[in-house]
Amino acid sequence: MPETGEEPRPGYPSAVELRGVGDGGREGVATSASAPPPPAGAPDAVVLHSSVLDTIGEEITGGALPEGHVLTLEQIRERFGVSRTVARETMRILESMGLVRSRRRVGITVQPRASWNVYDPRVIWWRLSGPGRNAQLRSLTELRIAVEPLAAGAAARSASAAERERATEIAASLRALGEAGDLDRFLAADVAFHTLLLQASGNEMFGALADVVAVVLQGRTQLGLMPHHPEPEALALHEAVADAVAGGRARDAETAMRELLAEVRHAMLPLWEPRTRR
Backbone angles phi, psi at 107, to 5 degrees: 110, -160
pLDDT at 225: 72
CA pair distance 54, 49, nearest whole angstrom: 9
Asked if the model's pLDDT at residue 39 lies above 60, the reply is no
Longest CA–CA separation in the chain, Å: 62
Phi, psi dihedral angles at 54 (to 5 degrees): -65, -40
Q: Give this prediction's pTM.
A: 0.78
Instruction: Give the range among 94-103, 178-187, 226-235 with minimum mean pLDDT.
Output: 226-235
Residue 26 has pLDDT above 50, yes or no: no
Q: Are 170 and 193 in contact (CB under 8 A)?
A: yes
List of residues 6+ apart from 100 with CB closer than 8 A: 60, 71, 91, 94, 108, 109, 110, 111
Give yes or no for residue 147 having a pLDDT over 80: yes
C-alpha distances out from residue 220 to 120, 191, 215, 230, Å: 17, 12, 9, 12
Which has the minimum average pLDDT: 27-31, 126-130, 226-230? 27-31
Domains with residue ranges and CATH for the chain: 44-115 (1.10.10.10), 121-272 (1.20.120.530)
Q: Is the pLDDT of residue 275 over 90?
A: no
Tally of residues, the chain: 278
In this model, does residue 44 exceed pLDDT 50?
A: no
pLDDT of residue 49: 62
How far apart CA 108 and CA 90 sit, in angstroms, is 11
CB 241 within 8 A of CB 152: yes
